[in-house]
Amino acid sequence: MAKTTKGEKNETNATAIGENAVVEINYKDIIAKEADVSVETKLTALYTLQQIDSQVDKIRIIRGELPLEVQDLEDEVAGLETRIDNFVSEINVLETSISEKQSAITDCQMLIKRYEEQQNNVRNNREYDSLTKEIEFQNLDITLSEKRIKEFTFSLDAKREEVETAQQKLLDRKTELDIKKAELDDIIAETEKEESDLIQKSHDNQKLIEERLLTAYQRIRENARNGLAVVMVERDACGGCFNKIPPQRQLDIRMHKKIIVCEYCGRILVDSAIDEVVKR
C-alpha cells in the first residue's frame, strides 16, 4: 500500500475546536478514489475522530447528571399525576356509592312507613306477621347500608388525604423540575452550538473511515470507561490503561504499517507523529 507523502500531509486544514486544536484533514485528495488507503492515513483519521469525540464527551460531562435528573423528575411528575387521577376516580366511585346507599336508606324508610300503615288495616295475623317481617327486612337493609356508608366514608377520607399528600409532593417535584430544567437549559444554551458543530465534524470524519474500522472504534469507545478508543503511546506506556508497551511493539507503532492495539485494554495505539499531524 502506498504511504502518504509529505506533500499530502501538508494539504490539511487546521480547525480550532474547544480548548484543544483538532485538525480536520482533507482526505479527498489523499484517497483520490483509490481502493487502498495507507495505514498512516487510517490512523490519522481515527485519531482525529477520537479528538473530536473527546471534545463532545467533555461538553456532556459538564452537564453531568442533570439530563438524567430531569428525566427522573419528569417520570415522577407523570407518575404522581396518574396516581392523583386514579385517586380522584376512586373518590368519585366512593361518593357515588355513599349517595346510592343514602338513597337506599330513604327508600327503605318509606317502605317501612308504608308497611306500618298497612299493619293498621290488616284482616288477620298472617298479614300482620308478613308485614312485620318486611319491616324487619327493611331495617336490616338500613343497618347494612349505614355500615357500608361508614366504610365508604372511612375510605373516602383516606383517599382524600392521599390526594392531598400526592398533590403537595407533585407541587414540590414540579418546582424542583423547573429549577433543574432551567439549569440544564442554561448549560445547553452555552454549549449547544459548539456541540452541534463537533457532532457534525464527527459525522464528516466517520465517512472517511472504512466501516470495519469505524465499528471497532465505536465498540471500543462503548467499552472504555473514559470513551478513549484511540490513544497515544506516552512514556513507553498505553495512554489508556498505562501498561508498558514492549520496545518492538513501539517500533511497529512508529512504522505505521499496521494498526496496533494494546494487548491489555484493546485500544488502538498511535505514536507522537500521528498526534503532531492531527494537531498541526
Q: What is the pLDDT of residues 152-170, one digit of tens each?
A: 999 999 999 999 999 999 9
Write down the pTM of the prediction. Answer: 0.51
Under the banding of pLDDT at 50, 70 and 90, the label for residue 200 is confident
pLDDT for 191 beyond 70 = yes
What's the angle, vertex CA 21, arms to CA 15 and CA 27, rounded to 5?
A: 50
Q: Averaged over 132-157, what is the pLDDT?
A: 94
Question: pLDDT digit string (tens) for 221-251?
Answer: 888 888 899 999 999 999 999 999 999 999 9
Q: Is 231 exposed, middle or buried (0-12, 13-18, 19+ CB in 10 A)?
A: buried
Structure-derived torsion over alpha carbons of residues 87, 88, 93, 95, reported in degrees to the nearest 10: 110
Question: How far is it, in rounded angstroms, from Cα 75 to Cα 86?
Answer: 17
Mean of the per-residue pLDDT values for the chain? Answer: 83
Under the banding of pLDDT at 50, 70 and 90, the label for residue 175 is very high
User: What are the phi and psi torsion angles at 244 (to 5°)?
Assistant: -65, 140
- Residue whose C-alpha cell is 459525522: 203
Domains and CATH numbers, the chain: 6-63+210-279 (no CATH), 66-196 (1.10.287.1490)
Question: How far is it, in rounded angstroms, from Cα 31 to Cα 210?
Answer: 12
Is-contact 217 48, C-beta < 8 A? Answer: no
Within its chain, how far is the Cα of 52 from the centroid?
A: 24
Q: Averaged over 27-34, what is the pLDDT?
A: 36
> Residue 196: what residue type?
S
Within its chain, how far is the Cα of 133 from the centroid?
A: 67
The pLDDT score that the predictor gives to residue 67 is: 85
- Of the ranges 14-23, 210-219, 244-253, which one carries the lowest mean pLDDT score? 14-23
Structure-derived torsion over alpha carbons of residues 49, 193, 226, 202, reported in degrees to the nearest 10: -20
What's the angle, vertex CA 204, arms to CA 201 and CA 209, rounded to 5?
A: 125
Within its chain, how far is the Cα of 176 from the centroid?
A: 18
